[in-house]
Structure 1
Amino acid sequence: MKDNELSITCPNCGKLNVIGSNRCSNCGQRLPAQKQWKVQHHRTLSKRMVGVILTIAAVLAIGLLGLIVQHNQVLSYTTFLNEAPQKVMFYDAHHHPVKTLYLIGDRRKKTTAGIQGTLVISKRVRIDKNYRSLKRVYYTDNRQHGLLEVQSDPVMKFYYPSRSGKLKLNGRCEIAGYPKIRYFSWQGTSGGVTK
């Protein structure tokens, strides 16, 4: 800032006086208040601008946080498929047992679509717990679309009862080539379903 912006010149004698002074320190002449008003107005405008900028920044931050939470809500769940055999029983429309399989989770990673990974499918539980020789198949656990899809042969689809992302222990399912199968019952051997 320049000196003349921090002081008021006396119109009578030309002496520089400190802003806020009512009278000249040299001759006692009444000083004009216009310069003081302009400086105060400038400071008020700056405070107002800072307030506006902070408000806009806060609104943007809250909006961004909301988007992040909504986007990652799917990823806040962990897949229920793990290394322990998960027993799944399949039923027909009259809830009569049709088939039993064991799903064993292998690798998995979180993506924007949910959880993707590989698993193996066995018709029985092995005593040696060695499932390495079985073929790995891909699965997608998409909580947002309410579907767990196993890319096996045949393809298996497990449907979530709601968009909340919680797979219940039983529900509706489809197995390609098996029109009789309508429902499943998940009977995990080590904790089963996790939220």
Structure 2
Amino acid sequence: MKDNKLSITCPNCGKLNVIGSPRCSNSGHPLPNSNQWGPPQHQRIPKRLVGITLTVAAVLAMILLWTIIQHNQALSYATFLNSAPQKVILYNARHRPVKTVYLIGDQRKKTTTGIQGTLVVANKVRPDSDYRNLRPVRYTDSRSAGMVVIETKPTMRFYYPERTGKLTYNGRCTVAGHPDVRYFSWQNISGGVTK
């Protein structure tokens, strides 16, 4: 008995023929291409396509990871107070600037309800970064209360948009004794709007 792996059957008469024969030895009928009966041929994927696919997958993974971190990270305004001067512009109900102040962090500590610390409030940024002649004031950054309170005279309150503690840099605020102040914009002097 012949090994079928080494032979090919004629579709016309059914006779077994040697693989590679162009025609049947019995009927003379053309035989199918013997390559299709051999071991499976694996097509190679071009290296460039593999590289592009891996690059796209890596970029998508980084974007997904960044999105997850940003969504789950509860930032506070106090996070930035001790890193660089913060420019805060106060706006009225028509979103027109009323006053600009600069907040420079001094000390801070974590508490069970948020962050407490001291900072100085300046009307302008000093080029020599020397704010020792300004009196520090207390602040409380409380995500549970949904606001940052700066105990200046008058007291300033900046509200988180939600109680979840997700920080935004434009929002609602109040200044005691100044009902015209309604909104704020919080910027990091060293790098534009803090993000």
| Offset at residue 74 of structure 1 (A) | 10
Counterpart in the other structure of 2:152: 152
Aligned residues: 122
| Offset at residue 108 of structure 1 (A) | 0.2
Contact 2:147 2:159 in 1 (8 A): yes
Contact 2:108 2:117 in 1 (8 A): yes
Counterpart in the other structure of 1:121: 121
Instruction: Name the CA distance, whole Å, in 1 between partners of 2:96 and 2:74.
Output: 35
| Offset at residue 193 of structure 1 (A) | 4.5
Structure 2, unmatched stretches of 5+, are: 1-71
| Offset at residue 188 of structure 1 (A) | 1.2
Contact 2:90 2:97 in 1 (8 A): yes
Contact 2:86 2:103 in 1 (8 A): yes
Matched residue SS, 2:115: strand
- Higher helix fraction: Structure 1 or Structure 2? 1
| Offset at residue 80 of structure 1 (A) | 2.4
Structure 1, unmatched stretches of 5+, are: 1-72
Contact 1:75 1:115 in 2 (8 A): no
| Offset at residue 145 of structure 1 (A) | 1.3
| Offset at residue 167 of structure 1 (A) | 2.1
Query: Structure 1 residues 74, 111: closer, same or farther in 2, change over 3 A?
Result: farther
Matched residue SS, 1:79: helix
Contact 1:75 1:110 in 2 (8 A): no
The Cα offsets for residues 50-108 of structure 1, whole Å up to 9 and x where unpaired, read as xxxxxxxxxxxxxxxxxxxxxxx999856221252100000000001110000001100
Counterpart in the other structure of 1:130: 130
Counterpart in the other structure of 1:171: 171
The Cα offsets for residues 4-47 of structure 1, whole Å up to 9 and x where unpaired, read as xxxxxxxxxxxxxxxxxxxxxxxxxxxxxxxxxxxxxxxxxxxx
Instruction: Name the CA distance, whole Å, in 2 between partners of 1:176 and 1:133.
Output: 25
Instruction: Name the CA distance, whole Å, in 2 between partners of 1:164 and 1:75.
Output: 7
| Offset at residue 166 of structure 1 (A) | 2.1
Query: Structure 1 residues 76, 84: closer, same or farther in 2, change over 3 A?
Result: closer
Contact 2:85 2:104 in 1 (8 A): yes
Does residue 91 in structure 1 map to residue 118 in structure 2? no
Counterpart in the other structure of 1:64: none
Contact 2:120 2:134 in 1 (8 A): yes
Contact 1:79 1:115 in 2 (8 A): no
**RMSD of aligned alpha carbons:** 2.1
| Offset at residue 190 of structure 1 (A) | 3.5
Counterpart in the other structure of 1:30: none
Query: Structure 1 residues 75, 103: closer, same or farther in 2, change over 3 A?
Result: same
Amino acid at match of 1:86: Q
| Offset at residue 144 of structure 1 (A) | 1.3
Contact 2:73 2:166 in 1 (8 A): no
- 167-176 or 79-88, larger mean C-alpha shift: 79-88
Contact 2:139 2:149 in 1 (8 A): yes
Instruction: State, as a whole percentage, how many aligned pairs show the same letter.
Output: 57
Instruction: Name the CA distance, whole Å, in 2 between partners of 1:76 and 1:112.
Output: 15
Contact 1:101 1:123 in 2 (8 A): yes
1:27-42 matches, within 5 Å, as: none
Query: Structure 1 residues 171, 147: closer, same or farther in 2, change over 3 A?
Result: same
Instruction: Name the CA distance, whole Å, in 1 between partners of 2:157 and 2:178.
Output: 12
